[in-house]
A = this chain, B = another copy of it.
Amino acid sequence: MKGYTNGEIQDFEDETSPAGVILGLDGGTTSTVCICMLASASISFGGGGEAAESLPILSRASAGCSNFNSVGEAAAKETLEKVMVEALSMAHSNCSAVRAICLAVSGVNHPSDQQKILEWVRDLFPCSVKIIIENDAVAAMASGTLGKLHGCVLIAGTGCIAYGFCEDGRQARAAGAGPILGDWGSGYGIAAQALTAIIRAHDGRGPQTTLMNNILNVLGLSSPDEVIGWTYADPSWARIAALVPVVVASAEDGDEVADKILHYSVQELADSVKAVIRRLKLSGEDGKSPFPLVMVGGVIEANNKKWDIGKEVGKLISKDYPGVFPIRPKVSKLSRLQYILWEWQFFLQFSQ
């Protein structure tokens, strides 16, 4: 049986150790990753947070969107189940060997959301299994601060959310409410505005824009009227958000409409982060104390030749809060999970 650490394959003598296994799951609106790790004390945590990425992983499985607000409850539940079962199977393990599960899932906004997912997951595993369910922002935060939950995290992928953590345990969030409820800084928000700009240019309400030809070409459509049918043919948020690179490229080629959409996205993302900073007083009483701002997601990483959305967001925030320390971790969802499992080791009590 082979496991891997930070991409390197490792051998384990006994993956069916009586200590069992733990599952970590990072569920986003675009993709979901689940890792399976041994829960045995012999390979458990030690050293500083830097050691998180060297935690040995038995297996990793991946799947699509697990945000129930995007794909519906039945599809989200199926994705969560499938990816966990697959990770266990790849590790030659099974549900009865599981000791603890950490699920960091986008769309978790309220205790009733945690309860819903708990009910989906609880029946699959022995009742002694410890289960933690949080918003995926928690895993993203940990990935940028070596496991420490302090500061603010901004996720801007298909969806977007700002999440803040104080050292005393207080938390606050802004945005993360999905496309109907005004997440205009998200990849979906950017792409929906670009599609809207095409409709407006076509029917005489808005300025002409190269987004028209650029997006029609990418979608293989011949007329702006066809954009309406394309948009509603499939309700997946990730499908709309996949147009972000076309918007960035159009802006870089000088299109003013595309440029304005990206500037608006930057403003919206910065506003979300600033709302969290204010509420938690992350910058201290004087507004100048240092704090980390972890930024992850496809929109943050959609920097091309000229446009760098993450950089612009950081600049806008630092105008009001000069102590902000932007961090753009170059880690995968897999590594994010290692960090969050690191953070939660004491709660999970699989460390000795």
Chain A interfacial positions (CB closer than 8 Å to B): 68-70, 109-110, 112-113, 172-182, 192-193, 195-196, 199-200, 203-205, 223, 225-229, 231-232, 235, 240, 271-272, 275-276, 278-279
Contact = CB atoms under 8 A, between A and B. Distances in A.
Contacts of A278: 204
A192 B199 contact: no
Contacts of A110: 223, 225-226, 228-229
B69 A232 contact: yes
A173 B204 CA distance: 9
20 contacts: A69-B228, A69-B231, A69-B232, A110-B226, A112-B229, A172-B203, A172-B204, A177-B199, A177-B227, A180-B192, A180-B196, A180-B231, A181-B195, A181-B196, A181-B227, A181-B231, A182-B196, A182-B200, A203-B275, A205-B275
Given A203-B173, A204-B278, A225-B110, A178 B232 contact: yes
Closest 4 CB pairs of A and B: A182-B196, A204-B275, A69-B232, A174-B203
Q: Classify the secondary structure of A's interface with B.
A: helix
A204 B279 contact: yes
A234 B177 CA distance: 15
A227 B69 CA distance: 12
Contacts of A200: 182
A177 B202 CA distance: 11
A40 to B, nearest CB: 38
A199 B268 CA distance: 14
Contact of A178 (B173, B177, B231): B231
A317 to B, nearest CB: 14
B69 A174 contact: no
Nearest to A184: B196
Contacts of A177: 196, 199, 227-228, 231
Contacts of A279: 204
A337 to B, nearest CB: 24
